[in-house]
Amino acid sequence: MKRLIAAMLAVSCLAAPVVASASWFPEIVAPHDCRKPYKPYKFTSEYEVQSFKDDVEKYKKCIEEYVQGQDDAIDEHRRQAQAAIDEWNRYVKYELQ
């Protein structure tokens, strides 16, 4: 019985990354919708230069916010996957003995 439990624990730990990477999640991850500014061939005024710099900063901020949101989602998926593993391990340890 102890070998069976040990084997089940090992399988649960090994299977977690596979399950987490499977396309079982109903979410569809949309690509970012940040707009890349196009640099003019030649600037004709200081206003154009500053406007372009402002647009570059907005683009950078948009990309950073998108990446942070994706990182947050990854962290939450990892937490939920770990919670499922912990639940399974408690079940095996306390209820299958």
Terminal Cα-to-Cα distance of the chain (whole angstroms): 8
Q: Where are the alpha helices (DSSP H) in the chain?
A: 2-21, 46-95
pLDDT the model gives residue 27: 75
pLDDT the model gives residue 44: 97
Using CA atoms, how far apart are residues 4 and 10, in angstroms rounded to an integer? 10
Considering the entire predicted model, what is its pTM?
0.66
Q: Which residues of the chain have pLDDT under 70?
A: 1-26
Using CA atoms, how far apart are residues 69 and 48, in angstroms rounded to an integer? 31
